[in-house]
């Protein structure tokens, strides 16, 4: 069987598995994203082995989450995001500091060396906005105040992650320089600033850039070019590609072509996102978790990961009222593909061994599976009980109150 045939079979297998998982969970009234991930577990190396993790399947997964965040960006208005800026900043920073400190101290207490401690801590700080924003989107809650805070905090989280990963890689390689870390940070912030301010100015209310090219009868291709370009550029400056895609969506979303673009992106994203969810599930490695020790370690690390991220984000969001802080705290918990990527970097840098790697991957997947079932109830409580007084914090709520309420009845 030639290589391309194998890849086609694997893409077919993961698409079928993810969609069967979706079907079962939908009929059970459970979150479909969990079904798609479990479909990936079953098709992947852990069970059937008809799907494997390789460069091509990873690319499809990456394009899947890039399209997902592009869609989320399209539905996000910059001015609404800026209005929750200070809360998002608090959530992002506290939601990074607590897991980092927790992971670092735990690793040092267990007698690990410095580079293991830093990598473990880095894996614990990661946030996978893909999972939460997908569920919020299904619930129609992306543009609620809590949804916007989660998105804003995820962007800040990723900026901090650059610093932490840069420190971790420097320590592991024995060449740590604070200047390099600050340069990376500066470039990342500059990138976000230029894209957001420059991009929205260029596109706001105009349609010319998206419709002037004659190669496109619709704004789809110009939109896809901007999405791929900013995803690649974000990746180049050390940010996650999905942050670039999210910014691209937000910038393009300021143009008058937003609704036409949303309609056209929907089928492309519907085709691709199952590859992302299935890919996460396929990372499950049961062989690495075969000992009692490993399972106990997994339980401990997972508890630490959930507790520290929840508490940090909860404290950061507490001024929004208790039910919103609950939603935001839980919404930041999934580590998803980001935690897996960090663990993979630690493995290839020699900082962590294959047992710890399996444990961290297991933690990333468990945190990703437990949150979606909680979200419908948390969203309902947060967005109906939240008091008006808490909403004024980041700016005047007048005139935008409708965005904060739930416009459609929530399912579940």
In the complex, the residues that contact a second copy under the rule CB under 8 A are 1-5, 7-9, 11-12, 15-16, 19-20, 22-23, 26-27, 32, 55-56, 58-59, 62, 213-216, 218, 220-221, 224-225, 228-229, 231-232, 235-236, 241, 264-265, 267-268, 270-271, 274
For 399, other C-beta atoms within 10 Å of its C-beta total 7
Shortest Cβ 82–a second copy spacing (Å): 28
Shortest Cβ 74–a second copy spacing (Å): 14
- Phi/psi for 144 (5° steps) reads -70, 165
Shortest Cβ 260–a second copy spacing (Å): 11
Query: Cα separations (Å) of 99 from 117, 149, 196, 375?
Result: 12, 19, 29, 21
Shortest Cβ 235–a second copy spacing (Å): 4
Between CA 316 and CA 329 the distance in angstroms is: 9
Shortest Cβ 122–a second copy spacing (Å): 16
Non-local CB neighbours of 244 within 8 Å, separated by 6+ positions:
195, 230, 231, 232, 233, 234, 235
Of 1 and 292, which has the nearer Cβ to a second copy?
A: 1
Of 2 and 402, which has the nearer Cβ to a second copy?
A: 2
For 86, other C-beta atoms within 10 Å of its C-beta total 16
Of 32 and 313, which has the nearer Cβ to a second copy?
A: 32
Shortest Cβ 14–a second copy spacing (Å): 10
- Phi/psi for 349 (5° steps) reads -80, -5
Non-local CB neighbours of 150 within 8 Å, separated by 6+ positions:
91, 129, 132, 133, 136, 328, 331, 332
Of 60 and 314, which has the nearer Cβ to a second copy?
A: 60
Shortest Cβ 149–a second copy spacing (Å): 28
Of 39 and 312, which has the nearer Cβ to a second copy?
A: 39
Between CA 271 and CA 249 the distance in angstroms is: 18
For 88, other C-beta atoms within 10 Å of its C-beta total 26
For 28, other C-beta atoms within 10 Å of its C-beta total 10
For 49, other C-beta atoms within 10 Å of its C-beta total 11
Of 169 and 323, which has the nearer Cβ to a second copy?
A: 169
Of 113 and 212, which has the nearer Cβ to a second copy?
A: 212
């Amino acid at each position: 069987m030639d290589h391309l045939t194998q890849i086609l079979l694997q893409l077919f297998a993961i698409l079928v598995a993810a969609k069967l998982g979706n079907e079962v969970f939908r009929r059970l009234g459970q979150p479909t994203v969990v079904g798609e991930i479990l479909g990936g577990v079953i098709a992947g190396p852990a069970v059937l082995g008809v799907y494997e993790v390789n460069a091509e399947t990873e690319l499809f997964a990456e394009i899947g989450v890039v399209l997902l965040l592009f869609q989320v960006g399209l539905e996000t208005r910059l001015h609404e995001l800026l209005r929750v800026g200070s809360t998002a900043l608090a959530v992002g920073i506290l939601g990074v500091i607590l897991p980092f400190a927790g992971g670092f101290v735990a690793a040092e207490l267990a007698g690990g060396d410095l580079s293991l401690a830093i990598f473990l801590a880095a894996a614990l700080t990661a946030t996978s906005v893909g999972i939460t924003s997908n569920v919020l989107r299904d619930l129609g809650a992306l543009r609620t105040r809590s949804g916007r805070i989660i998105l804003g905090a995820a962007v800040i989280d990723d900026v901090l992650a650059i610093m932490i990963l840069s420190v971790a890689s420097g320590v592991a390689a024995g060449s740590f320089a604070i200047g390099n870390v600050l340069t990376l940070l500066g470039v990342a912030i500059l990138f976000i600033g230029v894209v957001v301010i420059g991009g929205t100015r260029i596109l706001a209310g105009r349609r010319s850039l998206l419709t002037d090219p004659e190669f496109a009868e619709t704004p789809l291709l110009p939109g896809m070019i901007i999405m791929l370009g900013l995803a690649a550029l974000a990746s180049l400056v050390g940010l996650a590609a999905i942050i670039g895609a999210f910014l691209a969506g937000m910038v393009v979303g300021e143009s008058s072509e937003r609704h036409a673009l949303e309609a056209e992106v929907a089928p492309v994203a519907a085709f691709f996102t199952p590859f992302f969810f299935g890919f996460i599930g396929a990372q499950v490695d049961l062989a690495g978790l075969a000992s009692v020790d490993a399972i106990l370690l997994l339980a401990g690390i997972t508890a630490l990961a959930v507790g520290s991220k929840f508490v940090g984000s909860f404290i950061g969001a507490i001024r929004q009222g208790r039910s919103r802080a609950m939603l935001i705290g839980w919404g930041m918990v999934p580590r998803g593909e980001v935690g897996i990527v960090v663990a993979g970097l630690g493995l290839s840098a020699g900082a962590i061994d294959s047992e710890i790697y399996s444990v961290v991957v297991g933690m990333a997947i468990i945190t990703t599976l437990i949150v979606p079932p909680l979200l419908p109830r948390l969203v309902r409580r947060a967005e109906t009980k939240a008091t008006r007084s808490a909403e004024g914090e980041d700016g005047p709520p007048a005139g935008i109150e409708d965005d904060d309420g739930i416009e459609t009845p929530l399912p579940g």
